[in-house]
Structure 1
Amino acid sequence: METILSISGLHKRFGKIHAVNNVSFEIQKGNVYGILGPNGSGKSTTLGIVLNVVNKTAGTYSWFGGTTETHDALKKVGAIIERPNFYPYMSAYDNLRLVCKIKGAPVSKVDEKLALVGLLERKDSKFRNFSLGMKQRLAIASALLNDPEILILDEPTNGLDPQGIRQIRDIITLIASQGTTILLASHLLDEVEKVCSHVVVLRKGVILYTGTVNGMISSEGFFELQADDNAQLTALLQQHAAVDKIEPHDGKLTVYLKGSLEAAELNRYLATNGLYLNHLVKRKNSLEEQFIQLTSNQPEK
């Protein structure tokens, strides 16, 4: 699989602050990557370095297998790392036409990209009359005018209402389905879980996890159980080797696992011991639960 971006041992210091601390990961063509972490975790700084707007302290990065100099490589990159900034009294169409001249892209791309982000009917409206969500969608259209191989977005839904968030997520999914690689930074777990195939988790500039989203949340999971006699149920569960801990909640038991255990196997075990369930649901840990567990296990520095 083609490597779009490779980062190795990247460091960035701002005085005493170690904003990016030995960060290494690769972006492969055709995937949607999320850099996930709370504010101040080094997400934006990492993006700024690879986009050549922030100087690194140490480490290396290369675009497209290192065959192209950064200046030329960035011509194949679309990026939004700040708030959308267009001429307020110009129309959406005229703003994008100006961007086409700057990027050397054909003006015919304007209508195509406006349609992609759902703004074609508002092409003649002035930018100052757009909602925040519409401004963000126009920025995405602008970043796509040169048909980049990778689109980089820094907190793309920040400040948007639920409808605006949904629209941006749908657009990201659509762009990815057309073959464009996407790298987005976000502090929103729900956003990463819904749109990303891969995730890099950062905390205070340090990588805690890198890999697929499914790989991060594919732990053994947990059961929600209920029986007429929850005390007997608890006693039997405590004897099972795959059970880690049991927590009562609203008349049900939440059963966390430390080993593989399927619902049918658990049901047979309990029935063999004379106990029959009236509620059994197996759930997968959410990205939020895995993220909290991952970050809470890290000592403060």
Structure 2
Amino acid sequence: METILTLKNLTKRFGSITAVNDLSFTIKKGNVYGILGPNGSGKSTTLGIVLNVVNRTSGDFTWFDGSTSTHEALKKVGAIIERPNFYPYMTAAQNLKLVCQIKDVPTDKIEEKLELVGLLDRKDSKFRTFSLGMKQRLAIASALLNDPEILILDEPTNGLDPQGIHQIREIIKVIASQGTTILLASHLLDEVEKVCSHVVIIRKGVKLYSGPVDEMNASHGFFELNSNQNSILKKWLSEQSTFGNIKEEDGKLIAFLNNELDAESLNKQLYDAGITLTHLVKRKESLEEQFLQLTNNLN
């Protein structure tokens, strides 16, 4: 599969603050990637670096085959990394025509892109009459005028009402279905889960996970356990390679699995070790629980 973008050990420091810390990942053609992390985790800085608006401190990134200069490569990129900013007293079509002149691309795609984002019937309406959701959709149309190979979106649904969020997500799905690679930054797990095929999770500039969303969802789950000897039980669990993180919650022990194990087998192992359980439930770990576990474990 063709490579669109490669980041290698990318680092950005602002004085004593490290916003992006040794970040590496690869974007392949035809997928929808989400950079997911809490606010302030370095998502926007990362996008700014690859779009040449923020200077990196160290590391490197390459577009496409690596032999294309960033200046040339960005002609094949569409991006929205700030609030939509158009002329308020110009119509949607007039604003897009101006964008075409700036990007030096033909104007024959304006109506096609307006139709794609559901604004063709408002092409002659002034920008100042648009809702925030409509402004964001016009910005997406603007970013698509050069038929980019990759569309980059920074928090595309930020500040929108539920209807606006739904419309933007549906538009992203349509754009992706037409073969455009998409890279979006978001702090919303729900957004990434609903529209992305791949995810890069970062916190404080550090990559915690990179890979398909489905694979992250395919965890081995966790056990809820209780006994009259919880301290002995916790010690036993911590000595088993089968288990990873172990924590106490509401008087129960929560033991996350590194490998597959069913409840019957665990119960027998504990019985043989002289530990009798008063509570044993196996649960599937949701994507939200995994995300919280990942982002909360890094101090």
| Deviation at residue 286 of structure 1 after TM alignment | 2.3
TM-superposition CA deviations, 1:253-295 (whole Å, max 9, x none):
99976343579x89xx9xxxxxxxxxxx986422211011112
Q: Structure 2: 5+ residue runs without aligned partners? A: 228-239, 269-280
| Deviation at residue 106 of structure 1 after TM alignment | 1.8
| Deviation at residue 67 of structure 1 after TM alignment | 1.9
State the alpha-carbon separation in 2 of the partners of residues 43 and 83 from structure 1: 16
TM-superposition CA deviations, 1:119-140 (whole Å, max 9, x none):
1111111100000000000000
Query: What amino acid does structure 2 have at the position aligned with 1:18?
Result: T
Asked if 1:210 is matched to 2:229, the reply is no
User: SS of the counterpart of 1:67?
Assistant: coil
Partner of residue 35, structure 1: 35
RMSD (CA atoms): 3.0
* TM-score when normalising by structure 2: 0.83
Judged with a 3 Å threshold, the aligned counterparts in structure 2 of structure 1 residues 262 and 112 are, in CA distance, closer, same or farther, namely farther
State the alpha-carbon separation in 1 of the partners of residues 90 and 262 from structure 2: 60
Asked if 1:158 is matched to 2:181, the reply is no
State the alpha-carbon separation in 2 of the partners of residues 257 and 25 from structure 1: 27
State the alpha-carbon separation in 1 of the partners of residues 32 and 154 from structure 2: 13
Judged with a 3 Å threshold, the aligned counterparts in structure 2 of structure 1 residues 208 and 246 are, in CA distance, closer, same or farther, namely closer
TM-superposition CA deviations, 1:74-129 (whole Å, max 9, x none):
00000000000000011111111111111122211000000100111111111000
Figure out how many residues of one structure are paired with residues of the other and give that number: 277
Identity of aligned residues (%): 73
Asked if 1:113 is matched to 2:113, the reply is yes
Asked if 1:221 is matched to 2:221, the reply is yes
Query: What amino acid does structure 2 have at the position aligned with 1:8?
Result: K
State the alpha-carbon separation in 1 of the partners of residues 91 and 205 from structure 2: 40
User: What does 1:68-217 correspond to in 2, within 5 Å?
Assistant: 68-217=68-217
Q: Structure 1: 5+ residue runs without aligned partners? A: 225-230, 232-240, 270-280
Partner of residue 25, structure 1: 25
Judged with a 3 Å threshold, the aligned counterparts in structure 2 of structure 1 residues 125 and 12 are, in CA distance, closer, same or farther, namely same
Query: What amino acid does structure 2 have at the position aligned with 1:47?
Result: L
Partner of residue 228, structure 1: none
User: SS of the counterpart of 1:201?
Assistant: strand
Conservation of the 8 A alpha-carbon contact between 1:18 and 1:205: yes
User: SS of the counterpart of 1:159?
Assistant: coil
Q: Which sits farther off after the overlay, 100-109 or 39-48? A: 100-109
Partner of residue 278, structure 1: none
Partner of residue 8, structure 1: 8
User: SS of the counterpart of 2:166?
Assistant: helix
Query: What amino acid does structure 2 have at the position aligned with 1:16?
Result: S
